[in-house]
Amino acid sequence: MFLVKLILTRTKTLNKSILKRRDLLIGFATSFLTSSAFAFSADDATLLVGKVVGEINSVISSGKSEQAMIVDFEKIFAKYADVNIIARSALGPPARSASSKQLKKFTTTFRGYMARKYGKQFRTFIGGEINVEKTTDRGKFFEVSALVTSSLYFTPFDVTFRVSDRSGQNLFFDIIIEGISLLSSERVEIGALLDARKGSIDRLTNDLEKLG
Amino acid sequence: MWKTRNLKFFMIITALSALLSACTNVLPGAQGADPFEKLNRKTHEFNKNLDRNFLGPVSSRYSSVLPDPIENSVNNFASNLRLPGKVANNILQLDLYAAVQNTSRFFVNSTVGIAGFFDPSGKLGITVIETDFGETLEGWGVGEGAYIELPLLGPSNLRDSVGRVVDAVLLDPVDYILVQPEANYRTAADLSSLLQTRDALRDQINSLFNESADSYAQARLIYLQNRRFKLEDVSSETYFDPYEDFE
């Protein structure tokens, strides 16, 4: 009797896992098909950054208040950046031991923090513009560089977007200004903030609401 | 022109920097090798206090007192006198294009631009092509070496620190020629130009010192990544690929 029960439950779980595997396979197949049908190309990357830059340009020339601009920047960031991956990478190794709830809350807070912090920086671009220059294939991702001309600086400077489709969508995951990576910089910053809070992601998330 | 003593000193420094940089590896993600972190952090505190208590207030005072055109002229004068040193490095790098451009700039600004106080070359599109002995060493295959924060001068690395010494001591033709009191005028102009630069960058510097959680680590990152970008030094992987963890 016990043996029968055991065999029955075994087959049940076996069926379940087969089902799961089949779902997974279908998922893989669809993603493979869609990605091969719409292969991510250099043109897509350029187009994406063109859109980002276009939207940033219209925000900085809108003449809105800084507060309103920051709201707009957060929308642009949410739409075109791989916020999940940037937030995870900024947390570094502690992200692995965080619960999905913690991670979700951190990611949303981080998005606002980024918009406030870098939105303020875009103020210096007022009266200037950003133009896409060239796109380079880096193997696993594309690098789209743009030139920023601003009345505030004598010489134009370089802003490079790193774009990838590795999380299923074409999104940018890093902005590099004159060689300085936003992702690297936030890894240092968030790492230091986390250290100062003895590694508590909850405390960090709480405090991040007020930072940036 | 060069005394043999100078040449020997030069060769020793070059050999030393090559040796030292061979000993230190560069870590990924531009964290850089930082064996001197403890000492560097002390220097960073010193620099931060110096900036807060002296350089910051003095530079903002300087810029508010002097009208912009005068500040710019003084800055033009100082940067014009730095050109011959850059030409020397252009030649050591066999970059003749840059050598010719920087030389033309020097001659036009020193004459038409009245001893370099004005910048007619800039209006003609003959802009300065920046370089230094650190870049020359990089071109010769010397690695950047350990990260160093220098007192007063700020972030650097072993190679660029050596470069700074060589530029100041050996590769500055103007220094061989100028006598007193002109040499003093030059020093004054250099200091003024430093104050002007500090004031122009006040937002960035203040936010670095006051708003970042670890201004030392942030300054290190900014210096290393920006320097590699300027030298087009792609030999060391500077950036993170955040997707790698999931593949």
For residue A132 the two structure tokens come to: 């896409």
Check whether residue A59 and residue A84 sit in a common domain: yes
ipTM over 0.95? The verdict is: no
CA–CA dist A50, A40 (Å, integer):
15
pLDDT tops 80 at residue B30: no
Q: Which residues of A touch B230 (CB under 8 A)?
A: 178-179
Q: Is residue A145 classed as helix, strand or coil in its secondary structure?
A: strand
Eight-class DSSP state of B34: -
CA–CA dist A174, A138 (Å, integer):
13
Query: Cβ–Cβ contacts within 10 Å for residue B107, how many?
Result: 13
Nearest CA in chain A to B226: A179
- Percentage of chain B beyond pLDDT 70 is 85
Compute the C-alpha angle B134/B140/B146, nearest 5°.
Answer: 50
CA–CA dist A175, B184 (Å, integer):
44
Q: Which residues of A touch B225 (CB under 8 A)?
A: 176, 179-181, 184
Please tell me if residue B237 touches chain A, with a CB cutoff of 8 Å.
no
Eight-class DSSP state of B29: G
Quick one: pLDDT at residue B126?
93
Nearest CA in chain B to A124: B203
Please tell me if residue B218 touches chain A, with a CB cutoff of 8 Å.
yes
Q: Tell me the count of A-B CB pairs closer than 8 A.
A: 77
Nearest CA in chain B to A87: B242
Beta strand A171-177 pairing with A157-164: antiparallel
The CA–CA distances, whole Å, from B183 to A67, A211, B84, B180 equal 51, 48, 15, 5
Ramachandran class of B153: left when φ > 0, alpha when ψ lies in -120 to 50, beta otherwise? alpha
Contact A194, A94 (CB under 8 A): yes
Q: Which residues of B touch A81 (CB under 8 A)?
A: none
Check whether residue A50 and residue A139 sit in a common domain: yes
Query: Worst-scoring range by mean pLDDT, A123-127, B36-40, B195-199, B207-211?
Result: A123-127
Check whether residue A50 and residue A30 sit in a common domain: no
Please tell me if residue B208 touches chain A, with a CB cutoff of 8 Å.
no
- How many domains does chain A contain in total? 2
Please tell me if residue B230 touches chain A, with a CB cutoff of 8 Å.
yes
The CA–CA distances, whole Å, from A192 to A165, A197, B105 equal 30, 9, 45
Question: Any residues with CB less than 8 A from the CB of B142 and at least 6 apart, and which?
Answer: B14, B17, B18, B21, B159
Check whether residue A76 and residue A179 sit in a common domain: yes
What tens digit of pLDDT does each residue of B117-133 get?
999 999 999 999 999 99
Please tell me the total number of residues recorded for chain B in this structure: 247
- Which residues span the domain enclosing A204? 42-208
Q: Which of B204, B146, B242, B229 is nearest to A187 (CA)?
A: B242
Q: Out of A140, A173, A192, name the one closest to residue B213 (CB).
A: A192
Q: What are phi and psi for residue B172, nearest 5 degrees?
A: -125, 85
CA–CA dist A148, A133 (Å, integer):
10
Quick one: pLDDT at residue A122?
74
Q: Out of B230, B240, B242, name the one closest to residue A179 (CB).
A: B230
What tens digit of pLDDT does each residue of B34-71 get?
999 999 999 999 999 999 999 999 999 999 999 999 99
Cα atoms in the 13 Å half-sphere on the side-chain side of A164: 18
Peptide bond into B151 cis (omega under 30): no
Compute the C-alpha angle A176/A179/A182, nearest 5°.
Answer: 35
What tens digit of pLDDT does each residue of B67-91 get?
999 999 999 999 999 999 999 999 9
CA–CA dist A89, A99 (Å, integer):
15
Please tell me the total number of residues recorded for chain A in this structure: 212
pLDDT tens per residue across all 212 residues of chain A: 444 444 444 444 444 444 455 555 555 554 544 444 446 788 889 999 999 989 988 888 888 888 898 999 999 999 999 999 999 999 999 999 999 999 999 999 999 999 998 888 777 777 778 889 999 998 889 999 999 887 666 678 899 999 999 988 899 999 999 999 999 999 999 999 999 999 999 999 999 998 88
> Rounded to a whole number, what is the distance in angstroms from the first to the last CA of chain A?
65
Contact B158, B145 (CB under 8 A): yes
- Chain A residues with CB under 8 Å of a chain B CB are 85-86, 88-89, 124, 140-141, 155, 158, 162, 164, 166-167, 173-174, 176, 178-181, 183-185, 187-189, 191-193, 196
Interface touch A192/B239, C-beta < 8 Å: no
Please tell me if residue B210 touches chain A, with a CB cutoff of 8 Å.
no
Quick one: pLDDT at residue A194?
94
Check whether residue A172 and residue A188 sit in a common domain: yes
Quick one: pLDDT at residue B225?
94
What tens digit of pLDDT does each residue of B129-172 get?
999 999 999 999 999 999 999 999 999 999 999 999 999 999 99
pLDDT tops 50 at residue B203: yes
Check whether residue A91 and residue A195 sit in a common domain: yes
Check whether residue A68 and residue A156 sit in a common domain: yes
Please tell me if residue B212 touches chain A, with a CB cutoff of 8 Å.
yes
Quick one: pLDDT at residue A41?
86
Check whether residue A17 and residue A105 sit in a common domain: no
Interface touch B229/A187, C-beta < 8 Å: no
Interface touch B239/A167, C-beta < 8 Å: no
Quick one: pLDDT at residue B28?
39
Quick one: pLDDT at residue A23?
53
Quick one: pLDDT at residue A39?
62
Q: Out of B214, B217, B228, name the one closest to residue A179 (CB).
A: B228
Check whether residue A24 and residue A54 sit in a common domain: no
Q: Out of B218, B229, B230, name the one closest to residue A188 (CB).
A: B218
Interface touch A88/B226, C-beta < 8 Å: no
Eight-class DSSP state of A81: B
Interface touch B213/A181, C-beta < 8 Å: no
Q: Which of A116, A72, A39 is nearest to B211 (CA)?
A: A116
pLDDT tops 90 at residue B14: no
Interface touch B218/A185, C-beta < 8 Å: yes
